[in-house]
Structure 1
């Protein structure tokens, strides 16, 4: 592979690029994050309404209904005063976080004895019933059925509680979608074809001018153990010869400096495992950066011989032989 580089040696641009990257991220956040959150919240509101109706507006919180619809539990945890975290509910009910998370994912443990499941769920529901927030569900005080307006108001409050805990994952998912779309558009404008990562036994078998999302690349972590390393985007360039390794791209988008500097060693570990498996000269591991990446972070990555492309200047991919 030719010795192409993008930004790791351009130290005179690091500070300015970091500033531009922060501005790019903040502009995206102000323009797009509220909409992403709104769309996700709308889905949560619908889920809350379905749960409340499925439980007869909380009059029907019982063992059979929850075992038949275990996903209701994630909404019920937000219906209490105060809302109960998974670990707190597990402690109060004498059950386990694993059981609660399994139920909230819409499943009943297949390896757990039926009577043990029923006993555990009954204890969980006993805690939920004792802690229900009557201020949010005023109809429970007098045994009435809520009006449509009252139901919508209560559902919105619960949805806000749930969405508050989902805000970071919602933003992360939106960031990933944005970065993948940017790479897609850039590569396709150059005539690259997107392929299915599952169609190839090895990334080296990808045809020239092709790319794939979420491809597993095998790496050795010891002489006797091999694992699959997930790579965000794999790009096979026009220079392909003798089944060479493609460019491996890790997408990273960050809204603050603290977390990026805490996690910067992760890329170093990844690239070390790749180089130990395929050889130092065979690996072109590149970061696709947007957001809060300061010169300290960039210096660390450069010291590990890791290169990067900025989302605000995506044309730098051309410098890597694409």
Structure 2
């Protein structure tokens, strides 16, 4: 039985309410989430400045010792350099740059001579393009004051946060969505189980739930097993031992474009789950924000139902 997917006459009203719900949250909480992240990022930039002697000592040795400073150094140039632009300008391996930025390490087994050459190229590009308006001491050779260092770190932090503003807001929204689900469940007698308990979703006890649980599946052909991360897994209070939990994907969107670009992802996930666990597997969405009729119609056609965050009590209709 569908709860919302088979009621298109309600979609227009729900879409409007969901957009208002998201916008109200954004205006009230998003600026604080951004400020909190900027404060932490400013501290990281100040640490990077200390490690590079306020950008006066950007050497292969320093980059090898502190690979995590690279994205900060990219934002310390004029103009700020995107990752791929740095790779192209310096003529270095994308694997090196991606390892330094994503894994905060130098790629294992890299030949020393090649590594020194490529790190020197990166150092030269950063030193040549360093923003002298922010780091005014680079032209004069004088020691900057603490105030100048903090001001420069704040500017670079703003650039970094501007480049990742969408993920900052998305992560804050996800935390809020999961907290809302948790409160709703605990008020009804459910118990939370942490993900560090090596929990298997097939062996969950009635009246329990967990967040960000990996569900193992075997891909078509039976040659490879992968894990599908699920945001919320709930074993209903009144369920039998052989009944599978309800799986929920929490989704929020601040515009209509991105959800429609990625709407196939849920359909693929649903198909993989059904191929592995049968037609009785239940997978729904928890929506907040900009999800239009095109998105809803696509998901409904794929057999995916949903609960609107502004009407979270619909979870009860799914037997929760």
TM-score band by shorter chain is: over 0.9
- Matching residue of 1:203: 201
How far did residue 267 of structure 1 move? Answer: 1.1
Q: Does 1:89 align with 2:86?
A: yes
C-alpha separation in 2, matches of 1:152 and 1:240: 57
Name the counterpart of 1:71.
68
What is the correspondence of 1:134-149 to structure 2 with a 5 Å cutoff?
134-149=132-147
Q: 1:199: Cα distance to partner?
A: 3.5
Partner of 1:228: 227
Shift of 1:17: 0.6
Return the TM-score normalized by structure 2. Answer: 0.95
Identify the residue that residue 290 of structure 2 maps to in structure 1.
292
Q: Is the 8 A contact 1:25 1:291 kept in 2?
A: yes
CA contact (8 A) 2:78 2:129 kept: yes
Cα-to-partner distance string for 1:3-41 (whole Å, 9 max, x where unaligned): 5x4211222211101100000000011111110000001
CA–CA separation in structure 2 for the residues paired with 1:198 and 1:232: 14
CA distance in 1, matches of 2:63, 2:297: 53
Pairs aligned (count):
318
- Secondary structure of the corresponding residue to residue 252 of structure 1: strand
Alignment CA distance shift 1:142-1:200 (3 Å): closer
Q: Does 1:263 align with 2:262?
A: yes
Contact persistence 2:206–2:240 (CA under 8 A): no
Indicate if the aligned counterparts of 1:208 and 1:240 stay in contact, CA closer than 8 A.
yes
* Conserved 8 A contact 1:6-1:317: no
Matches within 5 A, 1:91-170: 91-104=88-101, 105-170=103-168
Higher relative contact order, chain-length normalized (CA < 8 Å, sep 6+)? 1
Distance 2:51 2:312 in 1: 49
Taking structure 1 as the reference length, what is the TM-score of the superposition? 0.95
Contact 2:192 2:210 in 1 (8 A): yes
The Cα shift of 1:153 comes to 1.6
Query: Take 1:176 and 1:98, find their aligned partners in 2: how far apart are those partners?
Result: 31
Secondary structure, aligned partner of 2:285: strand
Q: Structure 1 stretches of 5 or more lacking a match?
A: none
How far 1:156 moved relative to its partner? 1.4
**Equivalent residue of 1:245, what SS?**
coil
Partner of 2:37: 40
For structure 2, the 5+ residue unaligned runs are none
**Once the 2 structures are TM-superposed, how far is the Cα of residue 242 of structure 1 from its aligned partner?**
4.1
SS at 2:54's partner residue?
helix
Deviation at 1:144, TM superposition (A): 0.7
